[in-house]
Amino acid sequence: MTDTSFRILALNGSPRGRNSNTDILLKTLLEGAATQGASSETLYAVDMEIRDCLGCFACWNKTPGICVHKDDMPRVLEKMLASDLTIWATPLYHYGMTARLKRILERTLPLAKPWFVRKGEHYTHPPRYPEHTTRNFLLSNCGFPERHHFDALVREFELLANGDDERFLGSLLCTTGELLHVPEMRQTLSWYFDAVRTAGAEIATSLNLSQETVEILRRPLIPVESFVLMGNAHWNVPGETPPSVEEALGPDRNRP
């Protein structure tokens, strides 16, 4: 990434890599950003060798800024520092990011210094490279139809940014994400993909999503009850009977 346009580094943390719902969303978002002249590079966690942080703090004392591991992470950090925005893209796994992406996040420790310093309401670690603004955006999709599944993940990014709006620009969170790769849904969901593209263009121009785009992106992809019944019908598990409509939707719910 050597040009002078707005540079985006995207990290795709799905174990499904290029075949993931995450990648469908990411590519659409980056398409939108490209319409505004932004350049981007996507790194796939599945392609990289990233070892676990050992917690040795060598990157803070013995060799400041340099980790003991010799793997792909220094390349990721270099690209992060050379970009204007990092997109953390992950399917939701147990209310959080995937282990692969978390491993990358933990290995960003060399970007901070060990000191405790007060910033606003809280104590934090100062950045090693204060001349570089670390802007982050979260992109996630999950299997369930309810948005509260993302609460802990969003909170994690808010805490990491320590109240600095510039460090955490916001998020694009898609429920019922398994619908994204269904070819028959492509046409029905064109309104959603258009909104994701618009979101990419808005991030590249104003580092922000407009209220209008946020509201569109929060709409369910299809009615929730239809999704639940479709989902249950999709599984074919030897020896198991799927739940009845009543069991699946509860006795009080409207039938689709």
Ligand X SMILES: Cc1cc2nc3c(=O)[nH]c(=O)nc-3n(C[C@H](O)[C@H](O)[C@H](O)COP(=O)(O)O)c2cc1C
Cβ distance to ligand X smaller for residue 94 or 118: 94
Whether 120 and 162 have beta carbons less than 8 Å apart is answered as yes
Among 7, 16, 51, 147, interactor with ligand X by CB under 6 A: 16
Contact status: 196 vs ligand X (CB under 6 A): no
Among 109, 177, 198, 202, interactor with ligand X by CB under 6 A: 177
Handedness of CA 93, 48, 43, 27 (dihedral sign): negative
Contact status: 92 vs ligand X (CB under 6 A): yes
Burial 108-123 (b: 16+ CB within 10 A, else e): bbbbbbeeeeeeeeee
Among 40, 141, 198, 213, interactor with ligand X by CB under 6 A: 141
What does DSSP say about strands 7-12 and 85-91: parallel, antiparallel, or unpaired?
Answer: parallel
Q: Where are the alpha helices (DSSP H) in 128-189?
A: 151-161
Cβ distance to ligand X smaller for residue 112 or 154: 154
Cβ distance to ligand X smaller for residue 122 or 218: 218
What single-letter DSSP state applies at residue 147? G
Contact status: 144 vs ligand X (CB under 6 A): yes
Contact status: 123 vs ligand X (CB under 6 A): no
Q: C-beta of 203: minimal distance to ligand X in Å?
A: 20
- Judged by CB under 6 A, how many residues of this single chain contact ligand X? 17
Among 6, 10, 11, 22, interactor with ligand X by CB under 6 A: 22
Q: Which residues pair with 139 in a beta bridge?
A: 89, 172
Q: How many Cα atoms occupy the beta-carbon half-sphere of 38 within 13 Å?
A: 29
Among 57, 95, 123, 191, interactor with ligand X by CB under 6 A: 95
Q: What distance lies between CA 184 and its chain's CA centroid?
A: 25
Token pair for residue 123?
């104590």
Contact status: 7 vs ligand X (CB under 6 A): no
Residues that bind ligand X (CB under 6 A): 14, 16, 20-22, 91-95, 141-144, 149, 177-178
